[in-house]
Amino acid sequence: MKAVEQVEFRQVTKVFTAGRRTITALDGVSFTVKQGEFWTIIGPSGSGKTTLLRCLAGFETPTSGEILMAGQKVTGPGRDRMMVFQDLAQLFPWRTVLGNVTFALSLAHPEETLRRRQELARYNLELVGLEDYANLYPHQLSGGMKQRVAIARALGVRPQVLLMDEPFGSLDAITRTTLQSELLRIWAETKVTVVFVTHNIEEALVASDHIVVLARGGKVHALVTNTLPRPRQLDDPRFSRLWQHLHRLLEPAPHIPEPSSSGARGPEALPLAKPATGSASSP
């Protein structure tokens, strides 16, 4: 595949003002994503991962700098960038599983016939393995199934980039692992570009080609390229070396106290919560 530049962050800075305080969520973030790549944004809690993704989705406007999408400046939300939120309440509860997907399709592809849209919707539900649940309502689904529907709905629109903000963050470890490998299969099948936010080093390493490590304060701490052959083997010594490397990068600097919030993420977030091992490399 010819690698075309698709998403470009140029010195993106985002400053929030909350009352009298100003919070720098992103600070001069630059990187370039090529078509079909799988990018992961990783960083401690509060390092601006969500903000980065929301800026790319067009829900937030950068304070300075710009984001280009296929060469065009991002000015608002668009169907070329579909977001899958962490929130399990992102589906429309008054529509069935199929209805959620067809609704998105009817907005994205009004030129298609109703019949064709139904077919497309079913194809996308098959992609996430939910074709048998088409007529259920969201409240009748488990958390993992809801996230699959959200992925199907986003993919149905045929976006150029799929944005995912810890979509599996509120799921149990087993469901999470299953969905990760399904996402990889879907990514390989659809060749969609993915920008994925996670807390979890392993999740980042299994999936991505490139990893953006954000530090607290919203600076890019490191850009790590992951060239390990796919499918990634957890027992590969290179995998664990890369894991160690990322873990050191994510270690909190000694003078910044680690907030307890990362512990609340459950056992999957372990890599970040683990006590420091080896020599500390402060940013």
Ligand X SMILES: Nc1ncnc2c1ncn2[C@@H]1O[C@H](COP(=O)(O)OP(=O)(O)OP(=O)(O)O)[C@@H](O)[C@H]1O
Contacting residues toward other proteins, per CB under 8 A: 57, 59, 77-79, 81-83, 85, 87, 89-94, 103-104, 107-108, 137-140, 157
Site string for ligand X, 22-51 (x = CB under 6 A): -x-x-----------------x-xxxxxxx
Binding-site ranges for Mg ion (CB under 5 A) = 50
| Binders in 173-202 for ligand X, by CB under 6 A | 199
Is residue 209 helix, strand or coil? coil
User: Phi and psi dihedrals of 10, rounded to 5?
Assistant: -120, 105
Kindly tell me which of 155 and 272 has the beta carbon lying closer to ligand X.
272
Query: Which CB, 91 or 201, lies closer to other proteins?
Result: 91
CB of 134 to other proteins, least distance (A): 16
Rounded alpha-carbon distances, angstroms, from residue 3 to 37, 70, 72, 193, 255:
9, 12, 17, 11, 41
Closest separation in Å from C-beta 241 to other proteins: 38
Indicate the residue among 45 and 190 with the shorter CB distance to ligand X.
Answer: 45
Which of 21, 115 has the CB closer to ligand X?
21
Cβ of residue 51: shortest distance to Mg ion, in angstroms?
A: 8
Quick one: 57 or 179, whose CB is closer to other proteins?
57
Least gap, CB of 45 to Mg ion (angstroms): 7
Question: What does 87 bind: other proteins, Mg ion, ligand X, none (CB cut-off 5 to 8 Å by kind)?
Answer: other proteins
The answer to whether 108 and 79 are in contact (CB under 8 A) is yes
Of 159 and 169, CB closest to Mg ion: 169
Mutual angle of helices 97-108 and 143-156, in 10-degree steps: 20
Nearer to ligand X, 155 or 220 (CB): 220
The 8-class DSSP code of residue 232 comes to P
| Count of CA atoms in the C-beta half-sphere (13 A) of 283 | 20
Distance CA(165)–CA(186), nearest Å, equals 17
Classify each residue of 129-150 as buried b or exposed e, where b means 16 or more C-beta atoms within 10 Å of its C-beta.
ebbebbeebbeebeebbbbbbb
Per 3-state DSSP, what percentage of the chain is helix, strand, and coil (rounded to 5)? 40, 25, 35
Length of the chain: 283
Q: Which of 108, 112, 111, 209 is nearest to 159 (CA)?
A: 108
Question: Residues 18, 19, 229, 279: which binds ligand X (CB under 6 A)?
Answer: 18
The residues in 46-85 that bind ligand X, with binding defined as CB under 6 A, are: 46-51
Residue nearest ligand X by beta-carbon distance: 50
Q: Is 90 in the site for ligand X (CB under 6 A)?
A: no
CB of 45 to ligand X, least distance (A): 3
What are the angstrom distances between the C-alpha of 200 and each of 97, 179, 223, 231? 29, 14, 16, 18
CB of 83 to ligand X, least distance (A): 13
Q: What are the distances in angstroms from CA 165 to CA 5, 50, 120, 254?
A: 22, 7, 25, 28
Positions touching ligand X (CB under 6 A) are: 16, 18, 23, 25, 43, 45-51, 199
